Amino acid sequence: MEDRIERIIAGDVRIVARLISDIDNGTPGIQEVLKHLYPYTGKAHIIGITGAPGVGKSTLVDQMVAHLRKRGQTVGVLAVDPTSAFTGGAILGDRIRMQRHSTDTGVYMRSLATRGNFGGLSRSTRAAIEVLDAMGKDVILVETVGVGQDEVDIARSAHTTLVVVIPGMGDKIQAIKAGILEIADVFVINKADLDGVESVQDDLEYMIHLEHRKYKKKQWEPPIVRTRAALGEGISELFKEIDRHRDTLKRKAVGDGYGRKKDQVRDVLVEMVKNRLIETVFADLIGSGEFDRAVESIAGGDLDPYTACDRLVGGINFLATRLPISSCRT
């Protein structure tokens, strides 16, 4: 264990790759490694990049990596791709667009499959972020899968969240709706050479104006940056705003609070506890045969699913007293 931890902290790519695979596959015992790594986390700046499919997130990330490397910073990239219906793995579309960085030892890229998650991140993404943080990466870029309006998980994991939009994709409607646009720390209008860019900017400015009180309380009003990622235009301006946001977070932080924001820690812990309760209790139900008996009764017409659910859930308090204090899965 000690040797493994030391090699991860030293940046051993093979060990890191194997660990993230174990995390993604839910390999038993992996939690012990994560426990030992946790004290070495909290140093990297985590940037989330989200937005609807087709807005150019992967191209933008590619340019962001290039910019960070020019500044001498090491980079970790986690690209959450759609899940293959045949293998259950990531389709790898995002990594294909970033191949020019594949031989750069200062960049570590990894694709993670959504595995049925609907918040834009895979279930193992937060743990993978911690691994890259402990590995010593200065900046970690997390690109979400691009599921649309409800893709808000990234705001719970990142320090700075970029919401990417482009002209001509219904952004006028989205700009006044609750959902993904509310999580932005920085708005990015990509493909800014397309018709309608002024309209998108006006819509975003209007939305920001409507939320002025909320932003004033947060002491941060999200700026709007125009980019043409395919040509590398606007990336320097984007990082000026990202750096400004990071400085704002540091000024507001108390002690080491910047690295681990209290609300983020709470969200992670809540999710871990929920996952552990659901998995352990459900496994106990299956093992006891109660669930299968309920299925047989419903299929046979002797019981309705609502009553069956009430009965099964009614026994959870008893089952919960038998929960092992062993491990939590992220």
Q: State the amino acid at position 41 in one-letter form.
A: T
pLDDT of residue 87: 41
CA–CA separation, 323 and 94 (whole Å) = 40
Q: Determine the 3-state secondary structure of 103 from DSSP.
A: coil
Q: Determine the 3-state secondary structure of 327 from DSSP.
A: coil
Q: Determine the 3-state secondary structure of 182 from DSSP.
A: helix
- Half-sphere exposure in the Cβ direction for 39 (13 Å, CA): 4
Q: In a structure prediction context, what are the per-residue pLDDT tens digits for the chain, which is 330 residues long? A: 889 999 999 999 999 999 999 988 878 888 889 999 999 998 999 999 988 888 999 999 999 999 999 999 999 999 886 544 334 444 444 455 567 787 888 999 998 865 544 443 556 888 899 999 999 999 999 998 765 544 567 778 899 999 999 998 765 555 555 566 678 899 999 999 999 999 999 988 988 888 888 888 778 999 999 999 999 999 999 999 999 999 998 888 765 556 666 777 787 788 778 877 887 878 888 888 888 999 999 999 999 999 988 888 876 654 444 545 445 544
Asked whether the CA dihedral 230, 235, 238, 239 is positive or negative, the reply is: positive
Q: Where are the domains of the chain?
A: 42-256, 265-320
Q: Any idea which architecture 42-256 has in CATH?
A: 3-Layer(aba) Sandwich (3.40)
Decide: residue 68, CB within 10 A, 0-12 exposed, 13-18 middle, 19+ buried: buried
Q: In what order do the strands lie in the sheet with 75-81?
A: 107-113, 75-81, 139-143, 45-50, 160-165, 186-189, 224-226
What number of other Cβ atoms are within 10 A of residue 59's Cβ?
Answer: 21
pTM value is 0.81
What number of other Cβ atoms are within 10 A of residue 192's Cβ?
Answer: 19
pLDDT of residue 91: 43
% helix / strand / coil in the chain, to the nearest 5? 50, 15, 35
Phi, psi of 52 (to 5 degrees): -65, 160
Q: Which two tokens stand for residue 310?
A: 């009430």
Phi, psi of 169 (to 5 degrees): -120, 30
Decide: residue 177, CB within 10 A, 0-12 exposed, 13-18 middle, 19+ buried: exposed
pLDDT of residue 281: 79
CA–CA separation, 5 and 37 (whole Å) = 7
CA–CA separation, 268 and 164 (whole Å) = 25
